[in-house]
Amino acid sequence: MKRMCAAAVLCALLCGCAAAPAGEEGGQKRYEASFLTLFDTVTTMVGYADSEEAFTAQAQQIHDELLEYHQLYDIYNDYDGMNNLKTVNDNAGIAPVEVDARILDMLEFSRDLYEETGGRVNVAMGGVLSLWHDAREAGIEDPAHADLPDQDALEEAARHADWSNVVMDEEAGTVYLADPDLSLDVGAIAKGYAVERVCETAPAGMLISVGGNVRATGPKPDGSPWVVGIENPDGGDFLHTLYVEDSSVVTSGDYQRYYLVDGQRYHHIIDPDTLYPATRWRSVSILCEDSGIADGLSTALFTLSQEDGQKLLDAFDAEALWMTQDGELLYSPGFKAAVRT
């Protein structure tokens, strides 16, 4: 398992949030650490501790736990001595795969979310997402020849995204994909779900961000809330900054992972109805206690009207901020209560 080197920690401390003056937060100092080893994105942890050594130990433990989730939910890479989601996909239509309980738990969570969102979040749609992933990677590498996935291939892949073919046996601890052409892709919820599980045992009063999936484990030591910014898709100042104490903020947007074909932007959030990137919103930000639910809701709401999205928010006791294609900001009824600026 990769360790967090002392040089990286020191760099994070010097270049990130500086230590607060002694006594400002109950005698503890503020520290920050950043990593590039988790979920193919930047992970940042901020917290207060009596010493750099104490904070480094906390950050290392959280990193190592998140790394295990990253490897378990990885669909692209194998790891020695581990059956992960890639192993499950590789054995589609062949045999059940014995997996870690954390895979079964996440897939059960995913199945529930699929049903509760009316299929808007479907981790069994890996075949469709794979076609877009490959087209995006090729288009980024060779922009002059960027192209869209074949429509017939998309429709064929969509016919192999039926959750009834994901067979989970809790007693045996196995997952079996009964359709040999079905594949799993948990990118819509993996980061948020993993962050939520880790935060269940993380020290209170930390702020953890994995690729923009932000979770606070409680207020700062002096009782004050954390301040979290919502990125502006067009750059510049934040759309808003929010007060956050024991909840999560997750944003999905068309500006995060995309490529251009004939000048048109094609991002990574695929509408299950059209099999194409959703075009209704520029970004959707979710404020919710559970980071896994927030991650899924940000994807679901990105493909829905505001009215239909609000129904999901009500069901999950969550709030949202939408940005339209014209730059207008729309709010759920309780969102503004968390706004700082």
| CATH number for position 34 | 3.10.520.10
How much is the pLDDT for 26? 57
Computed over its alpha carbons, how large is the radius of gyration of the chain? Answer: 20
Sign of dihedral through CA atoms 299, 300, 303, 306?
negative
Q: Is residue 52 part of a domain?
A: yes
How much is the pLDDT for 3? 34
How much is the pLDDT for 28? 84
How much is the pLDDT for 12? 32
Q: Is residue 80 part of a domain?
A: no
How much is the pLDDT for 15? 32
What is the Cα 112 distance to its own chain's centre? 17
Say whether both 113 and 210 belong to one domain.
no
Say whether both 220 and 330 belong to one domain.
yes
Which domain range does residue 111 map to? 85-177
177 with 92: CB under 8 angstroms? Answer: yes
Q: Which of 140, 157, 177 is the last residue of a domain?
A: 177
Distance CA 178, CA 196 (A): 30
How much is the pLDDT for 17? 35
Question: How many domains does the chain contain in total?
Answer: 2
How much is the pLDDT for 25? 54
Say whether both 196 and 293 belong to one domain.
yes
Q: Which of 177, 203, 220 is the last residue of a domain?
A: 177
Distance CA 37, CA 246 (A): 25
Say whether both 107 and 155 belong to one domain.
yes
| CATH code, domain carrying 142 | 1.10.3980.10
Q: Is residue 182 part of a domain?
A: no
- Exposed (0-12), middle (13-18) or buried (19+): which is 152, by Cβ within 10 Å? exposed
In order along its 341 residues, the chain shows pLDDT tens digits of 333 332 233 333 323 333 333 334 557 899 999 998 898 889 999 999 999 999 999 999 999 999 999 999 999 999 999 999 999 999 999 999 999 999 999 999 999 999 999 999 999 999 999 999 999 999 999 999 999 999 999 999 999 999 999 999 999 999 999 999 999 999 999 999 999 999 999 999 999 999 879 999 999 999 999 999 999 998 889 999 999 999 999 999 998 889 999 999 999 999 999 999 999 999 999 999 999 999 999 999 999 999 999 999 999 999 999 999 999 999 999 999 999 99
102 with 292: CB under 8 angstroms? Answer: no
How much is the pLDDT for 186? 97
Distance CA 94, CA 178 (A): 8
Count the neighbouring beta carbons within 10 Å of the beta carbon of residue 16.
15
How much is the pLDDT for 247? 95
Say whether both 103 and 67 belong to one domain.
no
How much is the pLDDT for 137? 96
How much is the pLDDT for 14? 27
Say whether both 167 and 276 belong to one domain.
no
Q: Which of 133, 153, 177 is the last residue of a domain?
A: 177
Say whether both 143 and 235 belong to one domain.
no
Say whether both 214 and 326 belong to one domain.
yes
Say whether both 277 and 302 belong to one domain.
yes
Q: Is residue 32 part of a domain?
A: yes
Output the CA angle 71-77-83, nearest 5 degrees: 60
To the nearest 10°, report the CA torsion of 262, 268, 271, 272: 120
Q: Structure tokens of 276?
A: 């194409």
Q: Is the pTM of this model over 0.85?
A: yes
Q: Which 3 state secondary structure label does DSSP give 319?
A: strand
Say whether both 212 and 323 belong to one domain.
yes
How much is the pLDDT for 99? 98
179 with 121: CB under 8 angstroms? Answer: no
Say whether both 324 and 200 belong to one domain.
yes
Q: Is residue 79 part of a domain?
A: no
Say whether both 13 and 144 belong to one domain.
no
Residue 81's region, left for phi above 0, alpha for psi from -120 to 50, else beta, is left
Q: Is residue 1 part of a domain?
A: no
Q: Is residue 78 part of a domain?
A: no
Q: Is residue 184 part of a domain?
A: no
C-alpha closest to that of 33 among 206, 179, 265: 206
